[in-house]
Chains A and B, each alone.
Chain A
Amino acid sequence: MKGPIDPRWYQIGVLACLLVYGLSSLHFEVSWLQGLVTLASVLVFQALLTPIVGLRFFEWKSALISGLSLCLLMRSNALALVVLASFLTIGSKFFLRFNGKHIFNPTNFGIGITVLMTGQAWVSPGQWGSGLLIAVFVFCCGLMVVQRAERSDVTLTFLLAYPGLFFGRALWLGDPLTIPLHQLSNGALLIFTFFMISDPITTPNSRTGRILFALLVAGLAYVLRFKFYNPNALIYSLLISSIFVPAFDYFLTGPRFDWTGHGQNPQNKPTLEVTRMEAPVKFGNKWSLNLRRLGISHLF
């Protein structure tokens, strides 16, 4: 019996729709050439790095998701920087690892480092407007349900904490609630919430850890935005918070997420089921490196 389709197809579908909508209706400052270069380069880097680290499977779907996210969020006029961001994105999955997991959400790392280091790339958070955002939100919620109900705790916590801080600030300032609503009606925030912070591989293994992690990301982003007035607060917040994930995992043990399916499904469970955490990983095993798992265990 064939299981349901890989949830990453759903992700690719959502991101591709958003990209087409962004390019055609919102006139994103991304040329078709830039889009093609991004997608091609992430696939090429994924293909090149896969054999280098001895993996068997070329995970093109994960790479494509990373590429689509890059197209949606990062802007640059230099194609070389687009290629650099693609390299950082894919390379971070393979090379920046600790405890059998990659440390950073790849797209987040690719964008954050490219923007910080070069100064020639930027994120345009205001370019989404508020049209169709509710539809996108529903889409994303659907994605969450389809994909990984067990790991939705991080998304749900963030969805409560981050807007909570905005509404709390508005109440404290005596601002009308239209202001936080406007601040939160943002496509980039939705992509961040449903495609980045929720990445099961780069979040802590334990539920407590994940909830604390989501609170940390939300709190830090709030501080960066309202105390340091940084327009890329979410990107930098996740980048900084991810550094602490190994510490979360050290102090708060829990089962590691794994996409163990990939065509091997002894219990004939549908892929959807396989995406769940099946076997708890003992603390001592954390230091081992399972390359096959690593290769297929990345969302982005």
Chain B
Amino acid sequence: MFKRTLILTIAIITLYGLIPIKSVMAFCGFYVAKADTKIFNQASKVVLVRDGDRTVLTMANDFKGDPKEFAIVIPVPTFLEKGQIHIGESAIVDHLDAYTSPRLVEYFDPNPCSPPFKYEMAMPAPMLAKSDAVRQRANQLGVKIEAEYTVGEYDIIILSAQESNGLSIWLKENGYKLPNGAKEVLGSYIKQQMRFFVAKVNLDEQSKLGFKYLRPLQVAFESPKFMLPIRLGTLNANGDQELFIFTLTKKGRVETTNYRTVKLPEGMDIPIFVKDEFPSFYQAMFTEQVKRENGNAVFMEYAWDMNWCDPCAADPLTQEELKKIGVFWVGDQTNIPTPPGLRQPRPPMPGASEVFVTRLHVRYNLDHFPEDLMFQETADRSNFQGRYVLRHAYQGSDSCPAMETYRSALRDRQEKEATTLANLTGWDVNQIRSKMKIEPEKTPNPKSGKWWENVWE
């Protein structure tokens, strides 16, 4: 039998525990700014569309390795028919990522000597057909191959198992190298009557379809369980796992019920130079906030009605994109379609589609996240976004009394920005000051402010 030497390293994300198999499987792409740096390595993206018990789960990755070495195992709560499995479009997940990303907003100070003028600019922060022998072997091990499908470029098997030993032997015999402790976790899922969704790339199909990358897998199912199994992911020896969860719901934002959901600090003024270092700023800030929450919180980075944004890091998803990502209720009502390319920096009109997006970001490991993530949808429709403000100083050389006041206030403001940034990121405040080239205090103005001093100018 052909054996794949697959290493189970990266996150086992997804709905009911996804087991990606390859160490080079870098799910990046979380992000925003104009930087092309992959700022969070080993990050995975999951889109959860849910209303009532109906769920559509999309798992995106940008696996760059040899497709024959890609495979995942996802515990799922129900048997899945072929029609419940679908291949999504990476571009939509990327669009959702961009739309919900943290963003920078720039303001330019007006000339203090002129009437007020304000300019605002938003910028995007930045299988395998089973032989009879294999089936027989599975039966011997108490593993039942319930169904086999080829969907898109993937071969998919739905497995059920009687006990973890047989399942782990079967997985190992089929090329999965399980991390220590995986057998116990699989056993727990088996006792919770979950089935396992196993997917591998069908190379023939992939070459026929001509895709150079692996498209996201989508599954639709009905279950009261609103959760993501991360336990298998915590067994990996590679340290922290990065996971982004985008939920699309009808009523309001989603939060975790067994871990704290914490809003990322936002809305503060930060130094201008961050514009060129937004990725590293964001990474440092996230790391610092994780530390402050003792490593066991889930962070909310965005919560907004999908019909609009302000400022927009990217356009809201169109009705068609929403439909494709699994928002099954769009079209159930009178919709006002979002014209492609048109940003909507204003609240929705009555009758617009009810889609509320929540973006959650979690860095997890076994010590701080012993159990799977459990969620609930709340009725909270308050808007929240990771928005950071850059204020450009006025560069003109006009002279007037207001300018003196402005310059003095500017120094205070920049000092405050430096301490804010240090506080957010844990960066050294002195280095921040030197990068900012904070204007040193000027020599005292020889003028004493007497009324006649300006008379002769």
Contacts and interface: CB of A to CB of B under 8 A. Distances in A.
B184 interface: yes
Contact of A173 (B192, B227, B255, B380): B192
Contacts, number: 77
A172 interface: yes
Contacts of B164: 174
A78 B175 CA distance: 54
A288 interface: no
Nearest to A131: B294
A120 to B, nearest CB: 4
Interface string B76-105: 000000000000000000000000000000
Contacts of A26: 260
A228 interface: yes
A217 B379 CA distance: 27
B410 interface: no
A270 to B, nearest CB: 41
A76 B225 CA distance: 23
Interface in B374-392: 374, 376, 378-382
Contacts of A76: 379
Given A174-B188, A178-B370, A77 B255 contact: no
A154 to B, nearest CB: 25
A183 B258 contact: yes
A185 to B, nearest CB: 10
Most B-side CB within 10 Å, residue of A26, A124, A126, A229: A126
A77 B252 CA distance: 11
B188 A175 contact: yes
A121 interface: yes
A176 interface: yes
B137 interface: no
A127 B379 contact: no
Given A173-B187, A175-B188, A231 B374 contact: yes
Interface in A120-160: 120-122, 124-131
A122 B379 contact: yes
Contact of B380 (A77, A174, A179): A77
A229 B226 contact: yes
Given A122-B376, A127-B261, A130-B296, A174 B381 contact: no
A181 B297 CA distance: 17
B22 to A, nearest CB: 27
24 contacts: A27-B263, A77-B382, A121-B379, A122-B379, A124-B261, A126-B256, A127-B255, A127-B260, A127-B261, A128-B260, A129-B259, A129-B260, A129-B297, A172-B191, A173-B192, A174-B164, A174-B184, A174-B188, A175-B184, A175-B188, A176-B370, A179-B371, A229-B374, A231-B257
